[in-house]
Amino acid sequence: MHFRFHTAGESHGRGLVALVEGVPAGVPISAERDIDPELKRRQGGYGRGGRMKIEQDRAEFLSGVRFGETLGSPLAMVIWNRDWDNWRKAMSHEPPPPDADPDLLRRVHLPRPGHADLVGVLKYDREDARDILERASARETTARVAAGAVAKRFLAELGITIGSYIVRLGPIEARVPDPLPDDINAVSDLSPVRTLDPEADRRIIEEIDSAKLEGDTLGGVFEVVARGLPPGLGSHVSWDRRLDGRLAQALMSIQAMKGVEIGLGFEAARRRGSQVHDEIEADAASLHTGGYRRTRNNAGGLEGGMTTGAPLVCRVAMKPLSTLMRPLQSVDLRTGDRAAAIRERSDVVALAAAGVVGEAMVAIILADAVLEKFGGDSLAEVRRNLDGYRGRLIQRFPGGAGTAEHADA
């Protein structure tokens, strides 16, 4: 990979770390301007639990940035957990004293159906499911969003923008306007549940309130849209270079995600080819994407594992969170007896946040694909390579080569 990242950190540990490698030099970056607002977006959404009242996520750079620009060196960031203060004993790096009050160690022996708790203790041979759940927690997505914010800023410098919105929460559908707003997030971020449909918001909030009253949780579906892409990111030539596969892997890796569709997705399987494939037109106004356009975008901006230049549309399904306040049945790991699963503080729904995490993962994959095709050590070099490719697209368009009319397109 050309744009790589790692995260480290436990949900109630000292903090979260994001280590990003492959960012070209000269990308303007500021934690306050580019990263912290994204972290704040991830903390929002109606139906979050008590933790989001404790945290005010902020990124601190440790390396890779000087005078507001990236250096081309690895960029390390830390986001401190404010809640750590309440967990110093339970998450101590040192062995507990022999007389420690067991309640303060907050061990977990009642694994939650749906969470990593049980399989994790078996696989890693642990007695205490906290050793697993602390890292399995979606708190880790804070570090992903920090890494994604760097990718987003890099892409924005090349005219590529990414937004997201919710299309379904539990049984309730939210409408999507056609055309989409120019600035998707300017609209979805105003909704308490991040839809583009104020009518649906009221019903969604009622549904969240009702699930909460019943000690239950909810999932849903969100879409991520990327615009301003050149045609030809990704490749048809090998399985691991196909962009649809890379996007699906990145999006499915987000905690609690159960499905990814591109464009029409599963709906395409129900239709005939003529009702699915997007006809091609020559269009001198689209020279920046090769002089061709599609009459619609059922393909979701990808053909043959490559971007077409049309908006990239990914749809992602999230299961309901697995921490229930009215818990399901489980087994006590110490005795083998039937018992209710643990009730940890959690959210009723975190779909609004998941959309923001989805944007981050899409940004990371697109930044990687951009560097694969237009790779350079500085932002200026990447821009020159992209401009050179676009120039060639203009030049090769039939009848259009080098004419004054096409030269400014």
The number of residues that bind ligand EPS (CB under 6 A) is 17
Query: What's the min distance (Å) between Cβ of 57 and ligand EPS?
Result: 8
Classify residue 331 by its DSSP letter. E
Query: What's the min distance (Å) between Cβ of 138 and ligand EPS?
Result: 4
Is-contact 303 233, C-beta < 8 A?
no
Judge residue 289's burial from the number of C-beta atoms within 10 Å of its C-beta, 0-12 exposed, 13-18 middle, 19 or more buried: buried
* Helix and strand counts by DSSP (H, E) for the chain: 12, 17
Footprint on residues 142-181 left by ligand EPS (CB under 6 A):
142
Query: What's the min distance (Å) between Cβ of 133 and ligand EPS?
Result: 7
Candidate ranges 119-127, 135-143, 298-306, 334-342; the one touching ligand EPS (CB under 6 A): 135-143
Residue 258 as a binder of ligand EPS (CB under 6 A): the answer is no
Query: What's the min distance (Å) between Cβ of 12 and ligand EPS?
Result: 6
| Nearest-CB residue for ligand EPS | 137
Is-contact 315 5, C-beta < 8 A?
no
Kindly tell me which residue out of 318, 321, 366, 382 binds ligand EPS, with binding defined by CB under 6 A.
Answer: 321
Q: Where are the alpha helices (DSSP H) in 239-350?
A: 243-252
Is-contact 310 288, C-beta < 8 A?
no
* Residue spans of beta strands (DSSP E) within 279-371: 280-282, 292-294, 302-303, 306-307, 312-318, 329-331, 338-340
Candidate ranges 68-76, 122-130, 296-304, 341-349; the one touching ligand EPS (CB under 6 A): 341-349
Judge residue 336's burial from the number of C-beta atoms within 10 Å of its C-beta, 0-12 exposed, 13-18 middle, 19 or more buried: exposed
From residue 351 to residue 390, the character string flagging contacts with ligand EPS as x (rule: CB under 6 A) and all else as - is --x-------------------------------------
Residue 349 as a binder of ligand EPS (CB under 6 A): the answer is no
44 CB-near residues (< 8 Å, 6+ apart) = 52, 189, 194, 352, 353
Q: Which is nearer to ligand EPS, 341 or 386 (CB)?
A: 341
Residue 350 as a binder of ligand EPS (CB under 6 A): the answer is yes
Q: Which is nearer to ligand EPS, 145 or 393 (CB)?
A: 145
Residue 217 as a binder of ligand EPS (CB under 6 A): the answer is no
Kindly tell me which residue out of 7, 70, 137, 161 binds ligand EPS, with binding defined by CB under 6 A.
Answer: 137
Query: What's the min distance (Å) between Cβ of 344 and ligand EPS?
Result: 6
Kindly tell me which residue out of 289, 307, 308, 346 binds ligand EPS, with binding defined by CB under 6 A.
Answer: 346
Find tokens 């920046």 and name the residue: 288
Candidate ranges 94-102, 138-146, 196-204, 294-302; the one touching ligand EPS (CB under 6 A): 138-146
Residue 49 as a binder of ligand EPS (CB under 6 A): the answer is yes
For residues 366 and 111, give the distance between their C-alpha atoms in angstroms, rounded to a whole number.
37
Residue 81 as a binder of ligand EPS (CB under 6 A): the answer is no
The β-bridge partners of 80 are 15
Residue 18 as a binder of ligand EPS (CB under 6 A): the answer is no
Q: Which is nearer to ligand EPS, 52 or 339 (CB)?
A: 52
Cβ neighbours, 10 Å, residue 328: 11
Phi, psi (5° rounding) for residue 350? -135, 35
Cβ neighbours, 10 Å, residue 104: 12
Residues in contact with ligand EPS by the rule CB under 6 A: 11, 49, 51, 83, 137-139, 141-142, 321, 323, 344-347, 350, 353
